[in-house]
Structures are given as C-alpha cells and as structure tokens.
Amino acid sequence: MPELSAMKSYPKQLHFSGNEELLRRVKVSIVGSRKTSKYARELTHRLASALSRVGVCVVSGGAMGVDAVAHLGAGSSNTIAVLPCGVDVKYPAINKNLLSDIEKNGLLISQFDFGFKATPWSFVVRNELVVALGDVLVVAEAELGSGSMRSVEFALKMKKEIFVFPHRLGESAATNELLRKKQAKVIYDIDEFVARFGVCERAEKRADDFLDFCETNPSYEEALSKFPSRVFEAELSGEIEIRNAKIFVV
C-alpha cells in the first residue's frame, strides 16, 4: 500500500479481517478523545455519516469516544478499524459488538499477531497506521498531552493536512493550540469539507433500520427488545437520547 510508505518504517506485517476492498477507497482518518463532549460526538457522527454518503471510507482506532462515534457514523460497511491488538481480540470489550460488525461488513487491520493483547506502546503503533491510511486527519476533540496529539505528530511528519472542529476557549485545548500555531484548519461547514472529496464511485445510500425505528420515538423497553446491542452503543455515541423512558434521535 503506497500510503504506508510515509510511515517511519513500513509495517513488517499486517493482518486483515473483513473487506479489503475498502483499502482502495478514498479514506479520511478521524481521531479524538475517549471522554468526549456531546458537541464533539454530534459533529463527529455528522461528519462520518456525510463522508460515507459520498463513498469516503472512515478510518479510526476502534476505541471508546470519538473513534466509536466515527465508526458508527460511517456505518460498519464503510469503515476501517485499526487495532492495538490482534484482529481476533475485540478490544476494548465495550466495543465488542461494534468491532464484530465492522469485521463482518467493513475491515479490521492490525500489525500484531493473533492473540496479542494491547499494551501502552501498541497504541502508539496503532495511531501511526491510522494516520497513514487517511488522505487527511480530522481531530474531533483533544487535550494537550493526549494520545490524539501523538497522532498529530505523525500527521505533521507525514505532511498530512489536519482538520479540527471549532471549540470554545477552555475546551479541547489541544485542537485550539493547533489552530493558534496554524498547524490545522477548521471545519466550519461539514458539507463544504465533504465536497472536497467529490462523490466516489462506490457511494451508496446506507439504510439504518435502528435509527429509522428510533425516529418513531419508541419506548426504551421496545427499542431494547428489538435492538439490544445497538441501544447502548447509540446512547454512548450520542446518536440517541433517552428522555422520560422514550428514545429520541439526536
């Protein structure tokens, strides 16, 4: 893969599980905080969904927070999850169902052998591969000294364009610092940002039976009985809200 030549050293091995055709798509990498704000979750989901609609594949790291929202927004058939562990190890456990869906419909990638458990240094290795795969890097939300900033370091070395969402002062200090240093550009308009990629050949309309069902504002119990795994994931990612025991799409 020519895009990996930008890495410090080309990976000695890569393990795949899923649809390798996604590697031929135009790709955008999205990273960010594990403990993310509602604002960043909503924008990340909107961005990933909009990219998916025009056929752009979303790449992220399979972690909690921004990563999970990016994968969910793109849809499991149009996303690549790069893992800090073996592709057979669904980590973190809270994202087990999400990663299984991506394995079935999208693509899991790892530089590590089967059975390998994540370690502090393997996250750094994972982050470099996430950045290398994307044409550009989007940092949805990040604090100074966070793992997302290691991704930024990789992007700067690879001379990748970096984009961020506009945040208020005192929030997402790292992305605001990138703007102050003129190392990143702001996504003020999601549609305008997505338009830069055009409409790719494999663009397709994605159906989401779960969200269509939630548009009817069902009770929490109804949704849980019909879509037991998606309810928790969607609430965690900010796709839905539960108010007065009813489901509302955000």
Q: Give the model's pLDDT for residue 199.
A: 63
Of the candidates 141, 176, 136, 174, the one whose C-alpha atom is nearest the C-alpha of residue 156 is: 136
Q: Which ranges of the chain would DSSP assign to H, the alpha helix? A: 38-53, 66-74, 96-105, 120-133, 147-157, 173-180, 190-195, 209-214, 220-226, 228-237
Q: Give the model's pLDDT for residue 205.
A: 46
Q: Give the model's pLDDT for residue 236.
A: 75
Q: Which residues contact 212 (CB under 8 A, 6 or more apart)?
A: none
pTM of the prediction? 0.80
CATH 3.40.50.450 positions along the chain are 14-195
Whole-angstrom distance, CA of residue 197 vs CA of residue 151: 22
**pLDDT tens digits for the chain (250 residues)?**
888 888 888 888 999 999 999 999 999 999 999 989 999 999 999 999 999 989 999 999 999 999 999 999 999 999 999 999 999 999 999 999 999 999 999 999 999 999 999 999 999 999 999 999 999 999 999 998 888 899 999 999 999 999 999 998 888 999 999 999 999 999 999 999 999 987 654 444 455 678 778 878 888 888 888 888 788 778 777 778 888 888 887 7
Residue whose structure tokens are 């087990």: 96
Q: Give the model's pLDDT for residue 15.
A: 96
Fold of 14-195: Rossmann fold (3.40.50)
Q: Buried b vs exposed e over 69-88: b needs ≥16 C-beta within 10 Å?
A: bbbbbbbbbbbbbbbbbbbe
